[in-house]
């Protein structure tokens, strides 16, 4: 028997579709080869379809694997299941029993994180805050804006000299501290 499985219309996102189709093939075609050996079918993945030839039972399993792969269930899970089923089929005692207890049950691994509690709401003013003054506004307030360039330079030079004098005094004081004798404990009489 043969089967042609259409996979192109299952996933809308093109990138996601390509990744899932590649997942079906596996690295170096290993996954596809394992599926072929377990289902006893010849499988060909091409474009938007998966073509298969082989026994009806194998085709049925293959269709399930392919459609689940496109629904984001990894083919490796089905491969494990098929391998276990094959081993169980060989055992004469377990032929008429339910195999559910032997088959693996995979659960989705995405763990939901607890929601972070929201902090208390900040009180906001009814009116927006006043805009921060610009550099020009500050210059107008201090009267610096109306000075000529020479006057501005003179003020800047004066500020610079004051800062230098302050720094020099500080350094001199630090140097002088080295010459001050440390306090010695008074000798007992």
Per domain, the residue ranges of the chain are 2-90, 135-177
The pTM score is: 0.56
Query: pLDDT at position 187, please?
Result: 66
Q: Average pLDDT in the 151-164 region?
A: 92
CB 1 within 8 A of CB 53: yes
Between 5 and 91, the more confident residue is 5
Q: Average pLDDT in the 144-150 region?
A: 82
Q: Average pLDDT in the 160-186 region?
A: 88
Distance (Å) of CA 11 to CA 8, 17, 20, 68: 7, 6, 9, 12
Q: Give domain 2-90's CATH number out of 2.40.170.20, 3.30.1370.10, 1.20.140.150, 3.30.420.40.
A: 3.30.1370.10
Tracing tokens 């500050």 back to the chain, one arrives at: 138
Query: pLDDT at position 43, please?
Result: 95
Q: Is the pLDDT of residue 188 over 80?
A: no
pLDDT tier at 79, thresholds 50, 70, 90: very high
CB 74 within 8 A of CB 26: no
């Amino acid at each position: 028997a043969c089967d042609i499985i259409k996979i192109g219309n299952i996933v809308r996102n093109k990138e996601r579709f390509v990744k899932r189709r590649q997942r079906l093939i596996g690295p170096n075609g290993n996954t596809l080869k394992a599926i072929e050996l377990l289902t006893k079918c010849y499988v060909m993945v091409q474009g938007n379809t998966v073509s298969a030839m082989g026994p009806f039972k194998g085709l049925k399993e293959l269709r399930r694997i392919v459609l689940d792969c496109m629904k984001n269930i990894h083919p490796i899970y089905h491969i494990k299941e098929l391998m276990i089923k094959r081993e169980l089929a060989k055992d004469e005692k377990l032929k008429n029993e339910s195999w559910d207890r032997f088959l693996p049950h995979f659960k989705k691994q995405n763990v939901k994180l607890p929601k972070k509690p929201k902090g208390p709401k900040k009180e906001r003013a009814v009116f927006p805050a006043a805009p921060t003054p610009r550099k020009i506004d500050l210059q107008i307030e201090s009267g610096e804006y109306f000075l000529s360039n020479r006057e501005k330079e003179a003020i800047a030079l004066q500020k610079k000299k004051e800062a230098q004098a302050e720094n020099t005094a500080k350094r001199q004081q630090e140097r002088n501290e080295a010459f001050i004798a440390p306090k010695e404990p008074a000798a007992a009489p």
